[in-house]
Each structure stands twice: as structure tokens, then as C-alpha cells.
Amino acid sequence: MQGTELKGATFKYIESELYAYPDYQREIRQIRDEIIHGQGEVDENIGAGKNSYRSPGQPTEIRATKLEANKRLRRLEEISNAIERVYEQLDDTQKNLVHLRYWSKRGANWEYVADECFVSRRTAFNYRREIVYAIAHLLGEN
């Protein structure tokens, strides 16, 4: 899991993605809803007549193409999927650590997280490292 050493900036970047994961879930839903349920392009061609070009009458295909073409959506889904795949492999203690440190409103400090997980501070840091490295590996960052 720990193949090569991560640069400090990369480690912090992956951690920032962990912190942002709940926000990413909301943003993914919002982008998908905007594409699927409207917020479409405004037709500014006020002189459109019979012979003017318009998009084909296949709204399902157009929406599917927009979903696939949206780079922000694809990146958010890639990050979210990597986090979810790693999270699914964690034991209950490690899952609790992720919730307390990264996804709780108060962003608990490491001493509190270690106490709540019934592990030493060193073990909590080891779990952190393993989790970040696993996510980095799935994202191709190491």
C-alpha cells in the first residue's frame, strides 16, 4: 500500500480531499441535477427560422453527453469513488477515525480521535498514513 513516498504537498492534498468529501457529494448531486433537470443552455438565436441550425431533438442523449463531458463532475466522482473504495476496506476503528477527524463538524484533534477510537496517538497517525496512501494510490498520485 505504501509503494513510494508521497511528497508532503501531495499528502496534504489527499487529506484536503478527505475533508471535502461530504461537500463533494452535495456538489455532484447539484451538477447532475442541473444537467438533467434543466439549467440548460439559453437559445440566444432570436432570428431562428425554418432553416436555422438547432440541436437535435434527442434530449436524453444530449444530457448523457453533458454528464460525460463535464470535467468537474468527472473529477469529483473519481475522487469520491477512490475515497469510498478505501473507506469500504477499513475496519470499524479506522472508519470511526475518518468520521471524527475528517467528516465531523468540529474536526477533532488527533488526541481526541485516538481516545475515541481506543488507540494510541501513534496508531491513529499510522492509520491516517495508510488511508491517505491508499487513496493516493487509487488516484495515481504515487
- Does residue 45 form part of some domain? no
**Does residue 19 belong to any structural domain of this protein?**
yes
Residue 39 gets the label, from left (phi > 0), alpha (psi -120 to 50) or beta, of left
| Inside any domain, residue 91 | yes
* Domain span including residue 85: 8-34+58-139
In a domain, 99, yes or no: yes
pLDDT in tens, 41-83: 545 555 555 555 555 566 666 666 666 667 888 899 999 999 9
Q: What is the pLDDT of residues 86-140, one digit of tens each?
A: 999 999 999 999 999 999 877 789 999 999 999 999 999 999 999 999 999 999 9
Number of domains in the chain: 1
| Residue of higher predicted confidence among 48 and 31 | 31
Cβ atoms 136, 79 nearer than 8 A:
no
C-alpha span between 65 and 34 (Å, rounded)? 14
The whole-number pLDDT of residue 116 equals: 94
Residue 115 forms part of a structural domain: yes
pLDDT value at 40 more than 70: no
Average pLDDT, integer, range 14-31:
92
The residue type found at 81 is N
Q: Is residue 3 in some structural domain?
A: no
- Look at residue 50 and tell me if it is in a domain: no
